[in-house]
């Protein structure tokens, strides 16, 4: 990987609360003493995270894994919460240089209608899923807010936990999605590096770095129960990205302490157009980064998707990671019985079906959890009229 390039410029666009530079320096210069201190401390903070992300910590993978395992068991038990992505549409007005759905890519496009979405939901329910993530590309005429809203409402009639990963929205749009039954919003900043962000997002609404950065806070302010954040690892210096991600999360937790925040670790993989990651992250590095987050954020759900290979996922399940997608299709219509699919956003690496995946979890002494939320809780948390 490109080592410790901290030339992420703190441009005027980056708010002070996100400034990673003092901690990036620690991540670049930490020695074994700093790593051992970070592993011993009872309440690790951003300084400890920086030490655990450093190259000095690469020699401490085993003690980091042990600590991550202990903390994951303490806070999440021996459970892995499961969800499935459902791609509603692959139309997109976005111009992300690293994505196979970008508007300038030659890609067969489609958009599910209501009966197709319902068929997909039923197929996922038949596998046991009660937690479904609805995805679209950037806002476009084929898949705009109204389309998403209707599909959230439809999905909420079938499954208990509906999440959305789509475009950045206004607070009132998030409030409407919440009313329609959306429990959770996932929105990755992609890269926190403002210069890389400007270069990679070639046109459209997504070019607005600050509007996207503020979107998870808008979602929580609008009543969405949980947000998922992350950086697409590979686009810029990963240690700097992860320190920014940590600071983003801390700010959200401080300002929205009644809400939940989850962290994902998407890593750039092959897609149409063959964009090459300028800062590739290998398996050992990704494992180290996940352990570091678990040690410094013991109660935060950490998520790993089927982008990753089965053997890697098996090793991280319950060792830091407590939430995983399974049996995923990243094509539009991927769960339909006639397999009437169109092109995928990225290739799924872990292609096991739900039975094989759950067998693996059980063989490791972990329980797959398909449902850990019921819509009745939403009603109970509403202020009672007297
Ligand atoms: S990352 Fe999202 S917004 Fe960007 S091109 Fe892909 S689908 Fe569109």
Residue owning the nearest CA to atom 7 of ligand 1: 137
Determine the residue of 91, 99, 103 to mutate for testing ligand 1's pocket, defined as the one with the most ligand atoms within 8 A of the Cβ atom: 99
Dihedral angle sign, alpha carbons of residues 265, 161, 83, 257? positive
Span 122-148, pLDDT tens digits = 999 999 999 999 999 999 999 999 999
> Residue 175: which CATH number?
3.20.20.70
Residue 11 in domain: no
User: How far is Cα 327 from Cα 306, in angstroms, rounded to an integer?
Assistant: 8
pLDDT for position 272 = 57
pLDDT of residue 381 exceeding 60: no
> 204-228: per-residue pLDDT in tens?
999 999 999 999 999 999 999 999 9
* pLDDT computed for residue 3 by the predictor: 41
Residue 366 domain-assigned (yes or no)? yes
The reply to whether 278 falls in a domain is: yes
- In this prediction, residue 347 carries a pLDDT of 73
Q: How many folded domains does the chain comprise?
A: 1
Residue 329 placed within a domain: yes
Distance CA 52, CA 144 (A): 42
Q: CB under 6 Å to ligand 1: residues?
A: 92, 94, 96, 99, 101-102, 137-138, 206
Looking at ligand 1, which residue's alpha carbon is closest to its atom 5? Answer: 102
Determine the atom of ligand 1 nearest the C-alpha atom of 167: 3
Cα gap 294→44, rounded to integer Å: 10
> How many Å lie between the centroid of ligand 1 and the Cα of residue 138?
6
pLDDT digits (tens, 9 = 90+) for 224-254: 999 999 999 999 999 999 999 999 999 999 9
Q: Is the sign of the CA dihedral 366, 370, 376, 379 positive or negative?
A: positive
Cβ contact 91:103 at 8 Å: no
Q: Sign of torsion, CA 167 254 295 59?
A: positive
pLDDT at 275: 86
**pLDDT at residue 4 above 60?**
no
More confident residue, 28 or 376: 28
Residue 157 class from Cβ within 10 Å (0-12 exposed, 13-18 middle, 19+ buried)?
Answer: exposed
pLDDT in tens, 51-109: 999 999 999 999 999 999 999 999 999 999 999 999 999 999 999 999 988 999 888 99
pLDDT value for 386: 37
- The string of pLDDT tens digits covering residues 7-51 is 555 455 789 999 999 999 999 999 999 999 999 999 999 999 999
Task: List, in sequence order, every residue forming a beta bridge with 94; answer none if it has no partner.
Answer: none
- The sign of the torsion formed by the CA atoms of 53, 59, 62, 64 equals negative
Radius of gyration of the chain (CA): 20
Paired residues of 264 in beta bridges: 303
- For residue 64, tell me if it sits in a domain: no
Q: What is the DSSP string of 137-160?
A: -SSBTTB-HHHHHHHHHHHHTT-S
Q: How far is the CA of 324 from the centre of ligand 1 (A)?
A: 22
Mean pLDDT (whole number) for 314-337: 94
Query: Is 54 within the bounds of a domain?
Result: no
In Å, how far are 118, 324, 349 from 189, measured between CA atoms?
30, 20, 23
If one residue of 87, 88, 91, 96 were mutated to test the ligand 1 pocket, choosing by the most ligand atoms within 8 A of its CB, it would be 96
pLDDT tens per residue, range 266-296: 999 766 567 899 999 999 999 999 999 999 9
Angle, CA of 142, 144 and 149, to the nearest 5°: 120
Residue 335 CA to ligand 1 center (angstroms) comes to 21
Helix 46-53 vs helix 21-29: angle between axes, to the nearest 10 degrees? 40
Adjacent-strand bridge partners of 331:
344
Give the integer Cα–Cα distance in Å for 205 and 188: 15
Q: Please determine, for residue 201, whether its predicted confidence score (pLDDT) is greater than 50.
A: yes
Beta carbons of 155 and 134 less than 8 angstroms apart = yes
Q: How many Å apart are CA 122 and CA 294, to the nearest integer?
A: 34
**Host domain of residue 330:** 79-372
Q: How many Å lie between the centroid of ligand 1 and the Cα of residue 94? A: 5
Q: Are 130 and 120 in contact (CB under 8 A)?
A: no
Exposed e or buried b for every residue in 101-126, given b needs 16+ CB within 10 A? bbbebebebbbbeeebbbbbbebbee
Q: Ligand 1 centroid to 137 CA: how many Å?
A: 5
CA–centroid distance, residue 52 to ligand 1 (Å): 31
Residue 248 backbone phi and psi in degrees, to 5:
-60, -45
pLDDT in tens, 139-180: 999 999 999 999 999 999 999 999 999 999 999 999 999 999
Q: Are 221 and 227 in contact (CB under 8 A)?
A: no
Return the residue matching tokens 């809780």.
377
Question: For residue 73, is it within any domain?
Answer: no
Query: Which pairing describes strands 342-344 and 331-332: parallel, antiparallel, or unpaired?
Result: antiparallel
Does any domain span residue 96?
Answer: yes
CB atoms within 10 A of CB 186: 22
Which ligand 1 atom sits closest to the C-alpha of 190? 1
Q: What is the pLDDT of residue 269?
A: 73
């Amino acid at each position: 990987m490109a080592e410790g390039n901290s030339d992420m410029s703190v441009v005027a666009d980056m708010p002070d609360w996100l400034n990673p530079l003092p901690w990036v320096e620690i991540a670049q210069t930490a020695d074994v003493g700093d790593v051992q201190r970070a592993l011993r401390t009872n309440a690790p903070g951003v300084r400890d995270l920086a030490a655990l992300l450093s190259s000095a910590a690469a020699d401490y993978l085993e003690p980091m894994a042990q600590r991550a395992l202990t903390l994951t068991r303490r806070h999440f038990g021996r459970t892995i919460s499961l969800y499935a992505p459902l791609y509603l549409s692959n139309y997109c007005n976005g111009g992300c240089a690293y994505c196979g759905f970008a508007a300038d890519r030659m890609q067969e496009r489609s958009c599910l209608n209501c009966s197709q979405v319902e068929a997909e939901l039923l197929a996922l329910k038949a596998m046991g899923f009660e937690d479904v993530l609805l995805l679209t590309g950037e806002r476009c005429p084929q898949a705009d807010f109204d389309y998403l809203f209707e599909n959230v409402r439809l999905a909420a009639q079938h499954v208990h936990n509906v999440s959305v990963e789509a475009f950045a929205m206004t607070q009132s749009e998030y409030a409407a999605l919440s009313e329609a039954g959306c429990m959770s919003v996932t929105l990755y900043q992609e890269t926190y590096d403002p210069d890389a962000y400007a270069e990679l997002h070639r046109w459209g609404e997504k070019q607005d770095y600050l509007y996207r950065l503020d979107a998870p806070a808008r979602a929580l302010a609008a009543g969405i129960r949980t947000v998922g954040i992350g950086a697409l690892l590979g686009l810029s210096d990963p240690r700097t990205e992860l320190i920014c991600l940590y600071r983003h999360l801390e700010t959200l937790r401080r300002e929205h302490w009644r809400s939940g925040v989850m962290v994902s670790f998407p890593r750039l993989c092959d897609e149409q157009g063959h964009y090459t990651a300028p800062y590739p992250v290998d398996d050992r590095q990704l494992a180290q980064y996940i352990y570091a987050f678990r040690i410094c954020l013991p109660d935060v759900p950490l998520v790993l998707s089927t982008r990753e290979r089965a053997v890697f996922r098996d090793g991280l399940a319950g060792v830091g990671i407590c939430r995983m997608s399974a049996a995923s299709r990243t094509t539009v219509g991927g769960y339909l019985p006639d397999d009437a699919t169109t092109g995928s956003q990225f290739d799924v690496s872990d292609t096991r079906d739900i039975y094989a995946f759950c067998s693996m979890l059980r063989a490791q002494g972990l329980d797959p959890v398909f449902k850990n939320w019921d819509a009745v809780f939403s009603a109970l948390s509403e202020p009672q009229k007297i």
